[in-house]
Amino acid sequence: MLNSKASGYTKLPDQQTWKIDPEASFLHYCVNETVHGFVLDQANFPWDKIPKDMVIVGDMSSNIATFPIDWKHFDVIYAGA
């Protein structure tokens, strides 16, 4: 599991520490951490670290429709209330 708890949820963990299982069914990408205001900018997200053909699920519950979405990176996007 990859999260930014060590930084108080204020920055993305060092990409060198990422261990993404290439056999995983999907990668869940939460775009915005609401409490601390941390947003993962799609333009600067390290998409090259994600195994090819892995399904990417985007949680945009906190900020959907507030910015253009680069749909080529996502297979599923959801937002809840």
pLDDT tens digits for 41-64?
Answer: 788 788 998 999 999 999 998 888
Residue 5 lies in a domain: no
Residue 61 lies in a domain: yes
CA pair distance 77, 71, nearest whole angstrom: 9
Q: Compute the average pLDDT of residues 70-76.
A: 93
- Residue 34: which domain range? 26-42+49-81
- The answer to whether 36 and 12 are in contact (CB under 8 A) is no
Phi, psi dihedral angles at 15 (to 5 degrees): -60, -25
Residue 18 lies in a domain: no
Quote the pLDDT of residue 3: 66
3-state secondary structure of 72: helix
Residue 55 lies in a domain: yes
pLDDT in tens, 6-40: 777 777 788 888 889 999 999 998 888 778 777 88
Q: What's the pTM value of the predicted model, to 2 decimals?
A: 0.79
Query: What is the 3-state secondary structure of 12-27?
Result: CCCHHHCCCCCCCCEE
- The answer to whether 8 and 42 are in contact (CB under 8 A) is no
